[in-house]
């Protein structure tokens, strides 16, 4: 511990603030905490494992019935439902982890053009989450179909079926966009507990409340809730009152964009 | 160089910083003093562009910090100890911060050695003591070799050796031409380290001068004389502008006079003098005097203990 080494050189060591630098910085932050790897591992385990277990159980207990391919695909991708929560939390932690520790003030002081921080965090999240959910979904489907076919008499589902493709890819997309919604909530609310409460409330509790409590005349409004809108792309609730798959997904993306926009506005204008 | 101009920050009805104007020069250590709640931290946060001023402006090294192309080369900041994700290692923490400005592992390792964290750099910061956390914060502030260093209570939690080290560090930085601006509650420590002072109370500027000027201006400088003929000397000095407080049978404490005058008067009258010295107030006494009226959260007394 000496101050002598400080005087060793007088050349500036800090270069310009660049987006590439901020991206590298955010990647270092992302990879260097354990919670990241816990949540990513859970994502793979739940996304791949849960649906496959459901299918294996169904095939091996009693007499499985032939089902339309899309229903089988929905069963296989069943894990996406709970994975939304896991990756939503990962998204939340991108910002709340920094607000909780006070690190955000260091981050903002070295990146005073604050939106760079937001875009870099969002990029890291998307670049990790989207490929991971897509690959997990496809692997889940391959394993699930293998389990399904292993029972004699059941017809293969086939990835080529357009509905099946939509469900396999769609479940991955919905989970990834939910992570972005969590990201926005975390950046707006700034506390981990509060943000997780909001995520669970809006994505998991609100649909149940709406189903139980909305009067008959306005019950259809429930389909515009973020989780129901996303569900329209891949889930089991496709019925007359649901949105069409891609308009539902577009609405979910709209929610994500709105949340990130509010987060950007709040980060830029206020005190850090 | 830090220039603060008419800086004001309101939180609702409460005015935290109220029209502050001062500047902090490069090449010297400048201390930042004020009672609790005076607005020191708010001011430091506005200097670092973390908090948005209600009005007024701040310039760091002559420009708005937010528009600087290389922020880490301009300003190094320490605001609070352990502002680190507890699960991250000190090394990754510093690397992540440095990478925004293209700073690599070599400089990170250099700074880690400099603050004495070499042995624990790969350990998770959650297990660090307050003093070690403080060293991480100091490392962050030094990482980009900035032209201006701003630290809020850098001495907090450091052991005596660490306190000496940071004192040497701040002085070395100033000698290299750095602008060094830091706050502390430890007056004796600040008196030893800082050359200049900014004192605020209730968000307003109380003083902006050198430490010596501040003490001289705020408190009286006394001359203490010991003489066997104290009573006679007292009579000789009994002018209207000289106040004398008997301080024991043969001791006089005189305000408003120079030691030269006392010595000359005593010599001319043939009064023997055994001891003649100047007593200056400490920075702490001067600070108490200056901020007496602007203490926000004063304790009322110890009578009810």
Selecting from A105, A113, A270 the residue whose C-beta is nearest the C-beta of B66 gives: A113
> pLDDT for B42-64, tens place per residue?
999 999 999 999 999 999 999 99
| A1: confidence class by pLDDT, cuts 50, 70, 90 | very low
Question: If interface means Cβ-Cβ distance under 8 Å, which residues of chain A face chain B?
Answer: 1-3, 5-7, 10-18, 21-22, 24-26, 28-29, 32-35, 97-98, 101-103, 105-113, 269-272
As a residue count, chain B comes to: 305
Note the helical H segments in B65-156.
71-74, 90-99, 105-114, 130-142
Could you report how far apart the first and last alpha carbons of chain A are, in Å? 32
| Contact list, B92 vs chain A (CB under 8 Å) | 28-29, 32
Compute, in degrees rounded to 10, the torsion defined by CA atoms B255, B257, B258, B264.
-120
Decide if B9 touches A, using CB distance below 8 A: no
Q: Which pLDDT does position B238 carry in this prediction?
A: 75
CB distance A144 to A51 below 8 Å: yes
| Contact list, B115 vs chain A (CB under 8 Å) | 1
> pLDDT for A95-104, tens place per residue?
999 999 999 9
Q: Which residue has the tokens 């980009």?
A: B144
A4 pLDDT more than 50: no
SS3 B60: strand
| Contact list, B51 vs chain A (CB under 8 Å) | 271-272
> pLDDT for B206-262, tens place per residue?
999 999 888 888 887 788 888 898 888 888 887 767 777 777 788 888 887 888 988
Selecting from A10, A17, A28 the residue whose C-beta is nearest the C-beta of B71 gives: A17
Task: Count A/B contacts: CB-CB distance under 8 Å.
Answer: 154
Mutation target among B100, B145, B168 for the A interface, most CBs of A within 10 A? B100
Question: Is B110 in Cβ contact with A3 (below 8 Å)?
Answer: no
CA B5/CA B17 separation, integer angstroms = 12
For Cα atoms B283, B284, B287, give the angle at the middle one, nearest 5 degrees.
Answer: 85
Q: How far is CA A162 from CA A130, A159, B61, B148, in A?
A: 21, 8, 62, 61
How many angstroms away from the CA of B299 is the closest CA of chain A? 30
Closest Cα in chain A to B85: A101
CA B276/CA B251 separation, integer angstroms = 10
Selecting from A3, A32, A112 the residue whose C-beta is nearest the C-beta of B66 gives: A112
Q: Which pLDDT does position B46 carry in this prediction?
A: 95
How many angstroms away from the CA of A113 is the closest CA of chain B? 6
The ipTM assigned to this model is 0.91
Selecting from B87, B114, B168 the residue whose C-beta is nearest the C-beta of A5 gives: B114
Q: Which pLDDT does position A7 carry in this prediction?
A: 46
Q: How far is CA B285 from CA A152, A215, B35, B152, in A?
A: 93, 72, 13, 22
Question: Is A109 in Cβ contact with B49 (below 8 Å)?
Answer: yes
How many angstroms away from the CA of B89 is the closest CA of chain A? 8
Mutation target among A4, A8, A28 for the B interface, most CBs of B within 10 A? A28
> pLDDT for A157-215, tens place per residue?
778 888 899 999 999 999 999 999 999 999 999 999 999 999 999 999 998 898 888 88
Decide if B107 touches A, using CB distance below 8 A: yes
The DSSP bridge partners found for residue B198 are B32, B208
Tokens coding B192: 């030893």
Name the percent of chain A lying above pLDDT 90. 64
Mean local confidence (pLDDT), A22-49: 96
A228 pLDDT more than 50: yes
pLDDT beneath 50, residues of chain B: none
Candidates B50, B290, B49, B24; CA nearest to B183 is B24
Indicate the average pLDDT of chain A.
89
Tokens coding A258: 């709105």
| Contact list, B173 vs chain A (CB under 8 Å) | 6
How many angstroms away from the CA of B45 is the closest CA of chain A? 9
CA B33/CA B222 separation, integer angstroms = 25
Mutation target among B99, B120, B166 for the A interface, most CBs of A within 10 A? B99
DSSP string, B191-223: HHH-SEEEEEETTEEEEEEEHHHHHHHHSPPEE
DSSP string, A251-272: HHHHHHHHHHHHHHHHHHHS--
pTM of this prediction? 0.89
Selecting from A11, A28, A101 the residue whose C-beta is nearest the C-beta of B86 gives: A101
| A11: confidence class by pLDDT, cuts 50, 70, 90 | low
CB distance B116 to A1 below 8 Å: yes
How many angstroms away from the CA of A62 is the closest CA of chain B? 48
Q: At what angle do helices A103-110 and A114-149 cross, to 10 degrees?
A: 120
Strand extents, DSSP E, chain B: 2-11, 14-24, 29-33, 55-60, 75-78, 148-152, 179-183, 196-201, 204-210, 222-226, 243-246, 251-255, 275-279
Mean local confidence (pLDDT), A244-251: 94
Q: Which pLDDT does position A151 carry in this prediction?
A: 75
| Contact list, B85 vs chain A (CB under 8 Å) | 29, 33, 97-98, 101, 103
| Contact list, B97 vs chain A (CB under 8 Å) | 25, 106-107, 110
| Contact list, B144 vs chain A (CB under 8 Å) | 12-14, 110
């Amino acid at each position: 511990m000496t101050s002598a080494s400080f005087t060793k050189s007088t050349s500036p060591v800090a270069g310009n603030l660049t987006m590439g630098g901020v991206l590298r910085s955010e990647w270092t932050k992302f990879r260097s905490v354990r919670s990241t790897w816990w949540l990513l591992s859970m994502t793979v385990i739940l996304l791949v494992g849960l649906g496959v277990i459901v299918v294996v159980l169904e095939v091996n207990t009693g007499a499985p019935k032939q089902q339309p391919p899309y229903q089988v695909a929905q069963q296989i991708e069943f894990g996406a439902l709970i994975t939304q929560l896991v990756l939503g939390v990962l998204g939340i932690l991108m910002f709340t982890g920094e607000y909780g520790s006070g690190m955000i003030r260091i981050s903002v002081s070295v990146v005073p053009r604050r939106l760079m921080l937001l875009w870099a965090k969002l990029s890291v999240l998307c670049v990790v989450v989207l490929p991971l959910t897509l690959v997990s979904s496809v692997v889940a489907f391959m394993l699930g179909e293998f389990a399904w076919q292993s029972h004699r008499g059941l017809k293969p589902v086939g990835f080529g079926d357009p509905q099946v493709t939509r469900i396999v890819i769609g479940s991955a997309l919905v989970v990834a966009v939910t992570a972005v919604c969590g990201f926005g909530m975390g950046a707006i609310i700034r506390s981990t507990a509060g943000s997780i409460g909001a995520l669970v409330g809006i994505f998991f509790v609100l649909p149940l409340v709406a189903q139980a409590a909305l009067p008959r005349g306005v019950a259809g409004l429930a389909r515009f809730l973020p989780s129901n809108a996303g569900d329209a792309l891949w889930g089991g609730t496709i019925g007359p009152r649901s949105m069409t798959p891609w308009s539902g997904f577009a609405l979910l993306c709209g929610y994500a964009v709105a949340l990130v926009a509010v987060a950007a506005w709040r980060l830029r204008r206020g005190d850090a | 160089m830090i220039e603060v101009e008419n800086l004001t920050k309101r939180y609702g009805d409460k005015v935290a910083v109220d029209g502050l104007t001062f500047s902090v020069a490069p090449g010297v250590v400048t201390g930042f003093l004020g009672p609790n709640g005076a607005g020191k931290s708010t001011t430091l946060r506005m200097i670092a562009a973390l908090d948005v001023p209600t009005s007024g402006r701040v310039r760091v090294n002559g420009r708005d910090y937010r528009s600087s192309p290389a922020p880490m080369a301009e300003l190094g900041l320490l605001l609070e100890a352990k502002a680190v994700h507890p699960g991250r290692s000190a090394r990754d923490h510093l690397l992540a911060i440095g990478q925004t400005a293209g700073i690599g592992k070599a400089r990170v390792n250099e700074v880690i050695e400099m603050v004495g964290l070499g042995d624990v750099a790969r350990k998770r910061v959650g297990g660090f003591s307050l003093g070690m956390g403080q060293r991480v914060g100091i490392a962050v502030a030094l990482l980009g070799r900035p032209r201006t260093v701003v630290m809020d209570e850098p001495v907090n939690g450091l052991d005596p050796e660490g306190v000496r080290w940071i004192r040497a560090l701040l002085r070395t930085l100033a000698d290299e031409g750095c602008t060094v601006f830091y706050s502390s509650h430890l007056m004796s420590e600040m008196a030893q380290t800082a050359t200049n002072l900014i004192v605020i109370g209730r968000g307003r500027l109380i003083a902006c001068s050198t430490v010596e000027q501040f003490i001289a201006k705020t408190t009286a400088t006394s001359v203490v004389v010991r003489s066997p003929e104290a009573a006679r000397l007292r009579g000789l000095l009994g002018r209207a502008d000289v106040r004398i407080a008997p301080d024991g049978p043969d001791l006089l404490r005189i305000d408003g006079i120079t030691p030269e005058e006392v010595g000359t008067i005593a010599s001319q009258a043939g009064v023997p003098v055994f001891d003649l010295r100047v007593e200056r107030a400490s920075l702490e006494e001067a600070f108490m005097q200056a901020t007496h009226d602007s203490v926000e959260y004063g304790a009322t007394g110890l009578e009810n203990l």
